[in-house]
A = this chain, B = another copy of it.
Amino acid sequence: MLLHRLAVAAAKTSLRPSLARNSRTIAPTMTGITTARFGSSVAKDEEATTTIVDNSQEENPTELPTAPESTYSMKKSGTPSPWAVFDAWGAGADIVDPLSPAMEKLLESESVKIPMTPEEQATLAGETEILDAYDQFLQRKSSVHFGYPYNLMYNHSELYEFMKYSINNLGDPFVPSNYSVHSRQFECAVIDFFADLWKMEKDSYWGYVTTSGTEGNLHGILLARECHPDAILYTSQETHYSVFKAARYYRMDCQSIPTLPMGEIDYDLLEKAISRNLDRDIIINVNIGTTVKGAVDNLDRILRTLQVLNVPRERFHIHCDGALFALMMPFVDYAPEISFQKPIDSIAVSGHKMLGCPMPCGIALCRKEHVEKVEQHIDYLNSVDTTIMGSRNGQAALYLWYSLRKKGVEGIKRDVEHCMETARYLRDKLTEAGFTCRVNDLSSTVVLERPLDENLVKRWQLACEEDIAHVVVMPNVTRNKIDLFVKELTECKDKLGRIRPVRENSPLRQLHSLAWGGSVVQPFGTN
């Protein structure tokens, strides 16, 4: 496929073993469910350097250049994802007014409660009245959503009538069950698409449509543990909490590796951690986009590390948490390649994120040989138990299939381009307006200083972590909304000021690091 050509070339060169490696000693291994924090003093030192340099460059944020390096074209400004192949219902269009107090009251617990007697029922508002208010609520909330990586722009109205049916793909997607009200044919088409996208050979893969990104991670880590019962799970500190949750649920030893300022795993510390436990099998979770900063761990560098340490293929399992970005990267030109042609074992991606779906869902994909090790035949299902859930949402598979068919590869590519470009537009607007803010390469997640007005945070539904917030630019995030958002942020700053970093090596201070490159507004109260 054309999307991967150059990435393959890049990957090939990067597979050569690294010659220079850090040999500093690190903290003792911690076993059980721990978050070992190796080498935090190192990160602090670098941060100090960063602060000085940035400070000298950018004393006055209003004098910043207007990001000449950005790739976006101004003529696209203000349009709701102009490349969407099919009409969306309008999450990208105008901002909808908040609810009236009367409507809000209809959604309160006293109104929506379920009556236990006909007498109680008579005292409550009717369902239709409540649902009218709820529709207004959802329109409003969808129109001012910036913080979570959910594409709210889609149109599945042709599928609504299928909500008449209890579509359940119980058991394995590839093994028919006696329950026939299913959507396995659509689920298999979706899995085949992702297998092709990530370059798996026919008959070499297995996968299923999950109920969320978490289920995909729970499945990938479970497979890994079943194939490597005594392994240590290595993952970066900025990994999504579902991976640590998997370790806790499954009673696995887990080592949490510190990150570089931009959010990638600290590769040298990862190598040290592994090298100190070479008697144990190795499970590595690779973040294809971290939750908060959208940082992509360098898969090739991690594979090179394993090669340098002479770890045989049968002694490691690589799981890729690609929640948002595993569906974006194949459509970013010159991006590193996520591919089963490399020695990786499982990938999880969300369906309600980049693609967009009214219900959370995702895809778990892995090498078939792994799942064959763990499958159990269930007579009652006339199928095998290979999935985490038994009953499985067949609607979700149908919705994913429909989106993929309607958008097509070209449609997804245009959506991805919109996100990448618009993210840089937001970053530059924020920087111009005097806010500390960053975007990782390969990412549409704009990380910024946390606004001091919690109402503004709630209104725009920003996801926050300590002293930073982020906006994940999705197809429904448009330039006119961005302009309003930056205006409100500026008003908030004028009224309440800017947040100070909450601690020495806080996320906000890390935004100031030199490692990001480019221009940045210095965090308030630092020097």
Contacts and interface: CB of A to CB of B under 8 A. Distances in A.
A180 B461 contact: yes
Given A159-B131, A166-B357, A192 B113 contact: yes
Nearest to A114: B193
A117 interface: yes
Interface stretch (A36-44, A49-57, A376-384): A376-384
A317 to B, nearest CB: 17
A124 B305 CA distance: 45
Contacts of A141: 180-182
A244 to B, nearest CB: 9
A462 B178 contact: yes
Interface in A140-199: 141-142, 145, 147-148, 150-152, 155-168, 170, 178-183, 185-186, 188-190, 192-193, 196
Contact of A181 (B131, B142, B291): B142
Interface residues of A, number: 111
Contacts of A359: 166-167, 359, 393-396
Contact of A212 (B109, B138, B352, B391): B391
Interface stretch (A61-69, A257-265, A335-343, A463-471): A463-471
Contact of A358 (B167, B170, B462): B167
Nearest to A387: B214
Given A180-B141, A359-B167, A401-B112, A121 B162 contact: no
Interface in A387-434: 388-396, 401-402, 404-406, 408-410
A437 interface: no
A369 B434 CA distance: 46
A402 B151 CA distance: 26
Given A127-B405, A214-B389, A250-B251, A395 B185 contact: no
Contacts of A451: none
A385 interface: yes
A219 to B, nearest CB: 11
A128 interface: yes
A291 B388 CA distance: 18
B250 A463 contact: no
A466 B379 CA distance: 7
Contacts of A381: 463
A350 B170 CA distance: 14
Contacts of A79: none
A292 interface: yes
A508 to B, nearest CB: 13
Given A166-B142, A352-B166, A464 B382 contact: yes
User: Which 3 A-B residue pairings sit nearest by Cβ, starting from the closest?
Assistant: A360-B391, A160-B160, A141-B180
